[in-house]
Structure 1
């Protein structure tokens, strides 16, 4: 009979966390709920793991993620005394490998609900620019197929169409189409024979389409899947030498982390994006600084947040046109960023004023989805400071267009309305909005 040995590695991490056994269990349960697999662990479970009982394989990534979020650094299986999974033992692949499997999973309606949720990781390993640049030489080519610049133009045009559909109808509507286009058309193009210039352009176009598909996954609420697309986009951007897309993806990853409330990783990603950004005009600088400001505010770094916000303001004031810029940043976007910084720093009233500025400054280039999302955000903050009827009026406008949008993020916002208004049902206006939102949630 063998005596079970305590897991000294996990014990060391537990001591470093400063948690109680119950707090450790609760952190894992919260991530399980976020992952779509609610858990009910208590302190005896954690005690057993520390004594050497091995957690279920499906739970180990959740434990590592809980520790990574607490310690603000990656935590590996080996560091926690866990055996490596088969996936962790695989050799690194070239940028094309895995793209087929990733997209095929998204194309299968029967599996997307299970695979789409994924596990958002605050300590995800991000490939650095020196690590991914120049990988294109390692990609195998198919001598039976040849492509030219016309195929590159077709991929870019289709990406624009998919982006328009995403803006108009939401990520849940557009992502299966993007995944199908990636696996059926773009992935074979990446293996085709082409001139050096055409091959580079095609890999760059694929990188941006991967980023867009990840953005759609975020909108759907599939945050783990989004990170997979983002990392693949970074690899392809490096392979094609597309520095601009590389830094744009890092910024998008920071936006995702910030929207989920993870300030420290959002700062890390926003700063990495700004540092990787090539020389560019003032609007691009504002694009980066605005996200840095929001991230710093969430991380509690008020001085850095306000400094970055002032930098974004100066850059927007210097910018004369959005032409020839990547990811245009307008005065309306700046007002939204200001609202997020103010709210993260505890100034809800100021945040409301900035959101109202945003709506005054919007133009026809802004999407209906963002109008609904920011409107619902404004209503919640109006209710937070006691402006009940103003909140109901704002929600009413947002809900007028809600049935047209297929967005997990907006579904979540609308789903909160009944519980937020439940205590105010004696007010006729609140009761009417309560009933309307409940009806929409059940459709």
Structure 2
């Protein structure tokens, strides 16, 4: 891709130094920028010559500069600034919305309420959603600490302007009830249907209530309820592969939880951020976030402890820490035996989730048969209405059965996957559908795959 930017006479020593630190060739770096650009919704086609021009002093295009900084931050596992990379920061390219000032808990130039309204309005409008989903996930982002958020100045959590309405406990309960209902829709029909509803409710109802007059206790409860809803919306964005957007929602949820002095939702959200990092393959970052979530909640009840330690087990396995992974699994199992039977729609954790984490840990340590067995047990324990979760579980099970060489069993699991997938709107389900077709190509002439082909074609027509 040719650059239209003007040339500078001064070579970019900062960029050259970072390339040396990262031990990347210029061709490798071009490929990495193209890949990160795809994550951000950009189709880039840079090659070695483009990087050579940058090193020689050409200024990269404005939209590419944040990608360059993020690439080095990921590789070097530390924040990297535009200045360090020898890049100017354009007026429209300050720190991405939701990013934080290194060493600070205060987000840079972001008003929590305004940011949520902007994100929600775009998220509830299908014609605009692709624009907001194009944000870039940052593995090097600084997460605000709970004590700093809880003691932040009032203007960072309360919007300006005259308050013309008054709210009370019924409005708080309405937010919690709607959050539960949206979670149920998510389970049954998928995030493609549930997320626009969450965004619309957030913008049209919750944000005006956050601006309304209220007794201090009610205001704190409303902030807490709103934080739960924003956390759930971020989880759905993550699940729908809009990772940059999901991260922004998570950061806003942390701020609302801090303002409400709600330790539980703060910890749940950190755990969600850990899950997102693990989904993207950042094991070390996932473990850091999972540990931070557990450390921030020393008085957690047994179900929340299980929720947090299960993710710690998964993350520890990703970095090869076998002792810690199995120790955390034992803690999770013990905590679950002490928990009541209440089913929580947000931040809930049960035997299904525990067995799924067990399967992940066993898989990371090359116990493929044990991983498959745990997944099968997890599916048996799953609630009938948790269709979106079952779509994911069955797809993973089929892939692992095929990896073990059990084609017939894999096709059986994929058949069940298709029966649920046809009812669900889910980007992750779409990804699993594509993976299934790709993985089955080498076996197209086998009897098992021929039987499955009619069902695949039928679902493909339904999905358009």
TM-score range, shorter chain: over 0.9
Number of aligned residues? 441
Query: Does structure 1 retain, via aligned residues, the 8 Å contact 2:7–2:57?
Result: no
Q: Which residue of 1 aligns with 2:48?
A: 43
Is 1:118 aligned with 2:124? Answer: no
Q: 1:103 aligns with which of 106, 120, 123?
A: 120
Q: Which residue of 2 aligns with 1:383?
A: 402
Q: For the residues of structure 1 that align with 2:295 and 2:223, how far apart are their CA atoms?
A: 23
Pairwise CA distance, 1:134: 3.5
SS at match of 2:89: coil
Q: For the residues of structure 2 that align with 1:17 and 1:2, how far apart are their CA atoms?
A: 25
Q: For the residues of structure 2 that align with 1:76 and 1:302, how far apart are their CA atoms?
A: 35
Is 1:423 aligned with 2:442? Answer: yes
CA RMSD of superposed structures (Å): 2.2
**TM-score with structure 2 setting the length:** 0.89
Q: 1:297 aligns with which of 305, 317, 339?
A: 317
Q: For the residues of structure 2 that align with 1:54 and 1:181, how far apart are their CA atoms?
A: 43
What per-residue deviation string (whole Å, max 9, x for no partner) do you get for residues 160-184 of structure 1? 1111111111111111111111111
Pairwise CA distance, 1:413: 0.4
**Structure 2 gaps, min length 5:** 1-5, 98-107
Query: Does structure 2 retain, via aligned residues, the 8 Å contact 1:170–1:407?
Result: yes
Q: For the residues of structure 2 that align with 1:393 and 1:341, how far apart are their CA atoms?
A: 24
Q: Which residue of 1 aligns with 2:386?
A: 367
Q: 2:188 aligns with which of 151, 168, 185?
A: 168
Q: Which residue of 2 aligns with 1:74?
A: 79
Is 1:327 aligned with 2:347? Answer: yes
The verdict on how the C-alpha distance between 1:8 and 1:301 changes in structure 2, with shifts beyond 3 A counting, is farther
Pairwise CA distance, 1:320: 4.3
Query: Does structure 1 retain, via aligned residues, the 8 Å contact 2:82–2:88?
Result: yes
What per-residue deviation string (whole Å, max 9, x for no partner) do you get for residues 95-121 of structure 1? 323221111111222111232232121
1:264-279 residue pairs with structure 2 within 5 A? 264-279=284-299
Q: Which residue of 1 aligns with 2:15?
A: 10
Q: Which residue of 1 aligns with 2:94?
A: 88
Pairwise CA distance, 1:155: 1.3
SS at match of 1:98: helix
Q: For the residues of structure 2 that align with 1:301 and 1:27, how far apart are their CA atoms?
A: 28
Pairwise CA distance, 1:349: 2.4
SS at match of 1:120: coil
Is 1:154 aligned with 2:174? Answer: yes
1:245-260 residue pairs with structure 2 within 5 A? 245-260=265-280
SS at match of 2:164: strand
Pairwise CA distance, 1:194: 0.9
SS at match of 2:163: strand
Query: Does structure 1 retain, via aligned residues, the 8 Å contact 2:8–2:58?
Result: no
SS at match of 2:112: coil
The verdict on how the C-alpha distance between 1:56 and 1:434 changes in structure 2, with shifts beyond 3 A counting, is farther
Q: 1:308 aligns with which of 313, 328, 332?
A: 328
